Structure 1
Amino acid sequence: MTIERSHLAIIREVDRKGSLTAAADTLCLTQSALSHAIKKMEQALGITVWRREGRQLRLTQAGRHLLALGERVLPQLEHAENLMREYAQGQRGILRIGMECHPCYQWLLKVVSPYLAAWPDVDVDVKQKFQFGGLGALLGYEIDLLVTPDPLPRRGLRFEPVFDYEQVLVVGSGHRLAAQGRVSPEQLCEETLITYPVPVERLDIYTHFLLPAGCQPRRHKVIETTDIMLQMVASGRGVAALPAWLVAEYARKVDVRALRLGRSGIAKQIFLGMRESDGDIDYLSAFVERARGTAADAGRPASRRRSRQGACGKAST
């Protein structure tokens, strides 16, 4: 009894597509050929992979185990095959970056441009669909680097600190709080708070500022893009919490002010997460070093002493 790659591919595609017809198209097979392949697979393994419930196919317990195996193994095989293909074509590879930090896209652009110039045989692909779910993508070999303020320790992964910065409150220049150097949680109880579409439990202004003081904003509004968010703030439609370095950049073109959150402020760090097994990939290590060097434009280069502590705790977005 041997589990073959084709077995795992069939199970994964049928589960993804939800029907034999759609899965057959993806696998470049006819539906009858796929049905025959499934029957042959079940006979070879001595198990039943699916049970039919009306028009639906339901995985058996054995089928669910094989699906979980396929979702772990197939991305790694596909990643290795892509790398070998790129090496054969004279390329160094593709560096796939996942984003778990909405405002960090602006910073990332400053890193990517000089990096591409320095590494002409390496392509870069930024995958924003992994926002706030990138850890699984990193473990599943769907990305190679994860930009995150929320490093979670996992065996086989490591997180490199890139830069430190402060989270600040952003208000329009005509706002009643604009003249103050800092704000208290109570002062935001009558405000409309504008945030990215992130769960409240991962928003620092809630977890580190408002909720510990027992406060809530009068209204919570979600906006996806930084530009629109700051235009709303500038027009007096609400306040927002953003990295100080990002506010400093936008303050040149949008009439906003940055205020400290509380007496001490909210200290933050950005990390680049990677697989430990990829530590010897030179173009990946070079990106990390260039990212750390570019941190001067965004904030303070990360302290390694602080980063080792931060990598084992939670740093929300």
Structure 2
Amino acid sequence: MNVSLRNLKLVNVIVKEGSVTKAADKLFLSQPALSHQLKKLEEELGLKVFNRLNKKLILTEVGQVLFANSEKMLASMNQLNSELDAIKMGKKKNIRLTTECYTCYHWLPNVVREFRQEHPKINIKIDIEATKEPLEYLIEGKIDLAIVSTKSSHPSIHFEPLVTDEMVVILSKDNELSTQKTINLTDLINQDLILYDIPEEKNYVLTSILHNNVGFVRTIQKAQLTEAIIELVSANLGISVMAKWSVVPFLNHKNLEIIPFDLNVGKRDWYIASLNKISNIENSFVDAVKKHFNESLLKE
């Protein structure tokens, strides 16, 4: 048997209106047309949906099953349509988000919290697992937005410019390089570099600054947390390269210096990636991220 949603709605309206005539008006059908549809349904089922008693329609056992399920199905469809309408009107209630950079999660909760104050009905869901493959998760429909620094040529992905940040060298004030105004990659030859413990192909410092040439430094160590890297660098046990905004909050409390690279090395563009041009509510979230960077994270 193949009971369609149209058939369920037919039964539902007849029961709630109490007669075929009223149901026909509700469904914008003629009475003969509605009666024909009901007869066809009963023929396809091989079972009676209604018993006729003194011009009244009384649900059979089959009819009761159909009506009970129609209530559930129609309610679900109404909810689905409401959600689709909300998305179409830019009132999406859930935004699933990830970022390709682990350090972004230090500032992202603050942005989400500020955004929720102005949009309390919008739920930002941060998917940390998607950090490993943000664009793949986006293509598979598992997230709505990805904050990335690497653009793809995939024709289905739209990239919206977000911000430009700067990767800087952080080192102890006791380090021999601490008095320099800028750093050249050749200056790092005798330095021990401490980086985040993430896959090498995902490490921006290795791929885009050192260009996978580990010979620029003496050794490479890895640590999982920003705080751990800061402590090691502060103790002059190595140097690191991080986004300027992620280091600035530690400068007043640690034995640290930050020095920019020369020749414009370390400039990094960030984008919001989505499968379609972002909606109004998603655009509001992007504006909140830009505001947070402009007012807080990029200030020294």
Identity %: 18
Structure 2 counterpart of 1:286, from 281, 284, 287 = 284
1:299 maps to 2:298: yes
Label 1:213 to 1:123 Cα distance change in 2 as closer, same or farther (>3 A): closer
- 1:158-307 matches, within 5 Å, as 158-211=158-211, 215-276=215-276, 279=278, 281-296=279-294, 297-299=296-298
Partner of 1:183, secondary structure, is coil
Quick one: distance in 1 between partners of 2:130 and 2:244? 24
1:103 maps to 2:99: no
Residue 134 of structure 1 is matched in structure 2 by 134
Conservation of the 8 A alpha-carbon contact between 1:182 and 1:263: no
Aligned residue pairs total 217
CA RMSD of aligned residues (A): 2.8
Q: CA deviation at 1:198?
A: 3.3
Partner of 1:142, secondary structure, is coil
Label 1:282 to 1:163 Cα distance change in 2 as closer, same or farther (>3 A): same
User: What whole-Å deviation, never above 9, does each CA across 1:136-159 have from its counterpart, x for those lacking one?
Assistant: 111111111111112213222111
Label 1:85 to 1:229 Cα distance change in 2 as closer, same or farther (>3 A): farther
Q: CA deviation at 1:166?
A: 1.1
Q: CA deviation at 1:231?
A: 1.0
Conservation of the 8 A alpha-carbon contact between 1:86 and 1:93: no
Residue 116 of structure 1 is matched in structure 2 by 116
Q: CA deviation at 1:273?
A: 0.9
Partner of 2:260, secondary structure, is strand
Quick one: distance in 1 between partners of 2:281 and 2:208? 37
Label 1:137 to 1:207 Cα distance change in 2 as closer, same or farther (>3 A): closer
- Counterpart of 2:251, as a letter, is A
Label 1:158 to 1:299 Cα distance change in 2 as closer, same or farther (>3 A): farther
Conservation of the 8 A alpha-carbon contact between 2:197 and 2:224: yes
Quick one: distance in 2 between partners of 1:84 and 1:249? 45
Quick one: distance in 1 between partners of 2:81 and 2:234? 50
1:84 maps to 2:80: yes
Conservation of the 8 A alpha-carbon contact between 1:163 and 1:271: yes
Residue 125 of structure 1 is matched in structure 2 by 125
Q: CA deviation at 1:110?
A: 2.9
User: What whole-Å deviation, never above 9, does each CA across 1:200-257 have from its counterpart, x for those lacking one?
Assistant: 4444433444348883322111112111111111111211110112221221222211
- Counterpart of 1:284, as a letter, is E
Unaligned runs of 5+ in 2: 1-76
- Counterpart of 1:293, as a letter, is K
Quick one: distance in 2 between partners of 1:158 and 1:295? 22
- Counterpart of 2:275, as a letter, is R
User: What whole-Å deviation, never above 9, does each CA across 1:100-122 have from its counterpart, x for those lacking one?
Assistant: 11221223223211111111111
Label 1:201 to 1:254 Cα distance change in 2 as closer, same or farther (>3 A): same
Label 1:178 to 1:120 Cα distance change in 2 as closer, same or farther (>3 A): same
Conservation of the 8 A alpha-carbon contact between 1:171 and 1:240: yes
Computing the radius of gyration from Cα coordinates, the structure with the larger value is 2
Partner of 2:215, secondary structure, is coil
* TM-score (normalised: structure 2): 0.65
- Counterpart of 1:283, as a letter, is I
Partner of 1:103, secondary structure, is helix
Q: CA deviation at 1:85?
A: 9.2
Q: CA deviation at 1:133?
A: 0.7
Conservation of the 8 A alpha-carbon contact between 1:164 and 1:299: no
Label 1:212 to 1:117 Cα distance change in 2 as closer, same or farther (>3 A): closer
* TM-score (normalised: structure 1): 0.61
Partner of 1:270, secondary structure, is strand
- 1:138-153 matches, within 5 Å, as 138-153=138-153
Label 1:124 to 1:252 Cα distance change in 2 as closer, same or farther (>3 A): same
Quick one: distance in 2 between partners of 1:188 and 1:109? 34
Quick one: distance in 2 between partners of 1:250 and 1:202? 25
Conservation of the 8 A alpha-carbon contact between 1:167 and 1:267: yes
Unaligned runs of 5+ in 1: 1-80, 301-317
Partner of 1:131, secondary structure, is helix
